Each structure stands twice: as C-alpha cells, then as structure tokens.
Amino acid sequence: MTWTQLHAQLHRTIGHRRLCEKRQNLLVAVSGGQDSLCLIRLLLDLQPKWQWNIAIAHCDHRWRSDSEENAKHVANLARHWNLPFFLETAGINININSEASARNWRYQVLSNIAEEYGYNCVVTGHTATDRAETLLYNLIRGTGSDGLQALTWRRGLRDKIYLVRPLLEITRQETEIFCQKRQLPVWLDSTNKDLKYARNRVRQELIPYLQRNFNPKVEQSLAQTAELLQAEVEYLETEALKLRFDAQKSQSVTGEKEEKVDVDVDIASSSTVVRLNRQVLNNSAIAIQRRVMRQVLLEIMPSTPNFEHIEKLTALINAPNRSQTDPFPGGAIARVVGSYILIETIE
C-alpha cells in the first residue's frame, strides 16, 4: 500500500477530531461511487493502525434499472475484501419519492443495521464538494445558519451510534484521482447526471459557473464557510438552551389552569402548555431569542419550523397582552398572558 497525502490527511482528521476510536466497529455506507470507494479503501489501508472492525452496507432505492446490479457490484467488493456485507432494498410499500425521503430512509436503515449488529459508527463518504453543494442548495431555498452547516463531522443517530463524515476536507476531484490511481472499480450512477434534480443542477451547472467566473477554489471556500458556521451554531445553540432554561420557569403543565401567570387563562383538559417568561427573553439578543423559539417549535411541530413560524413566535416577546398567533402546523397556538408566552398544543 502506497501512503498518500489523503491517507495522512484522513489519519490526522480522525485523530484530531476524535471521529472514531481505536478498535471500534465501523459500518461504512458504500454506494459504489467514487467517494464511497475512496473512503472504504482509505479506511482499509488505515485499519492496521486503528484496529477497526469494518463492515459495508449498501442501500438499494430501486430508482434505477441497474440498481440490483449496482448492489451486486458492492457485494462483490465486500467479498473481495473479506468484509461483512449488509444489503437493504426498498420495498414497494416504502414511499421514496424525493431526495429527502431517500436520505431519511437510508439513515433509518443504517441505524437499524448498526444497532442490531453492534456498530458504533456509521461512516459516509460525504466530501468538501458535498458540503459546498449543500450550503449553496440550502441558501437558495432559504435557511439559517443551521441549514448552511448541515453536513457536520459527527452527530448522533441513536444511543451510542454516531454518523461520521471523515472526508469533509477532501474534494470530489481528489477522490476521483485517488480511485483512478488505485484502479478502483467505480460504479457510475446515471441519476447523478439527471438535471431534473436540483442538487445535480447545483453540481453540474452552478458550481462550475462559479469556478469559471468567480473562484476556481469555490468548493474549498464554501466548505470552510460551513466549518466556521458549524462552530458558531454550536455556540449559539448552547446559549439558547441556557436562556430557554431560565425563561421556562416551570415544566410543561397538562390539563390544569395556569396559576402563576399574570392573568387567569383556561387551558383545555387535553392540552399541554409550554410557558416562557417574556421578561427573561427580552433581555437577550434577537439571535438567541429566535433560536430559543426554534428549539421550542422543533418539539411541538410535525415539521421543521421555517422563518415565518419562528418570527411569529418571537414577535410575542414584545406584543400586547392577549395577543396570539394563528395555529402552527400541528395545531399549536401561542398567546401572550401578562409576562408569559403560553404555547398550547392539543394532544
């Protein structure tokens, strides 16, 4: 095995960022494309140093006519490398009709395999290029700093199971060169060229345009921006949790009349109420206020809150008494009662 710059970089990244520990069980998601093949080959080369137990998992969405052959190709690679192999194929009763639903299904499947067979880390081949594409894609759609740094190095999937992305400093061009030099049998996914998918238009049209006309290293620049945003988001989230703890003077109450607010308010017997002290919230910066409201809405809404939802709730901090919102998705209503915002959800 020839030790390359990518080997050194990955070895250093995993150790510096503490993405994986020695002798851990790694479940590597392999699609057969260049990024995942580069990842699995690098991990296998580093295995003697880290003493990992490595397995391969492949998810077949059944989107393409050649998906079954693709799965067999990855299975053959696992057999060649003498690695455990797990295959999950989407059934006809599973509704995978978008990139988001496909991603959610994949992570659910990978989490199930990891939990059942004792793998601590689920490792994916997301690169700096993916990070740049995600930042642009979410920016165009409209998002806050959370969406702009969506691809993080490590996050929890389930109890003691983590999703790890060790290639976030390596570009897709670098993985392509690595696969060519190592003569790895890359499976070409035809859907990556289909411009009906917005992410492919970002990849095939927008980023090349930015490279030609603005910055040849735009992928690296955007990936670095995402890295900076990640650290800032983690800090803001911690500060918001502290403020929320101070503002939420009591636990949610169920089926009772609120006794400690400035005026009496009836609460339905089948509802749960979250109470926030407006005076405590008003002493903080607007950025932290919004993040507190986002945290609350994430717990009571069936979908991720958007800008309008967050602003509507934040506006109640300085709204007149008895002000209230129209229902949020899921039916929750927030209203001002004296010094408090009461957010009532119907069970």
CA distance 153 to 14: 10
Q: What is the pLDDT of residue 36?
A: 97
The pLDDT of residue 262: 47
Between CA 40 and CA 16, with CA 234 as vertex, the angle to 5 degrees is 40
Q: What is the pLDDT of residue 293?
A: 96
CA atoms of 256 and 68, how far apart (whole Å): 57
% of residues, the chain, pLDDT over 90 = 74
Tokens of 222: 């955007």
**Through-space distance between the first and last CA atoms of the chain, rounded to whole angstroms:** 60
What is the rounded distance in angstroms from the CA atom of residue 308 to the CA atom of residue 259?
31
pTM of the predicted model as reported, rounded to 2 decimal places: 0.83
pLDDT digits (tens, 9 = 90+) for 227-257: 999 999 999 999 999 999 999 874 434 444 4
Which residue is associated with the tokens 């010094």?
A: 339
- Class of the 248-346 domain? alpha beta
Q: From CA 127, how far away is CA 166, in angstroms rounded?
A: 8
334 in Cβ contact with 322 (< 8 Å): no
pLDDT of residue 266: 54
What does each C-alpha distance from 105 to 61, 110, 165, 217 come to in angstroms? Answer: 9, 9, 18, 33
Extended strands (E) in the chain: 25-29, 53-60, 85-89, 121-123, 154-158, 161-164, 253-254, 271-277, 333-337, 340-346
- Residue spans per domain, the chain: 5-230, 248-346
Neighbouring-strand partners of residue 53: 25
CA–CA gap between residue 284 and residue 216 (Å, rounded): 41
Positions of the chain with pLDDT lower than 70, given as ranges: 94-95, 97, 250-271, 347
Distance CA 217, CA 211 (A): 7
- Which pLDDT tens digit goes with each residue over 282-302? 999 999 999 999 999 999 999
Answer yes or no: CATH 3.40.50.450 is held by domain 5-230.
no
What is the pLDDT, as a whole number, of residue 91? 79
Residue position matching structure tokens 């991603």: 103
- What one-character-per-residue DSSP string does 161-225 give? EEEE-TTTTS-HHHHHHHHHHHT--PPP-GGGG-TTSHHHHIIIIIHHHHHHHT-TTHHHHHHHH
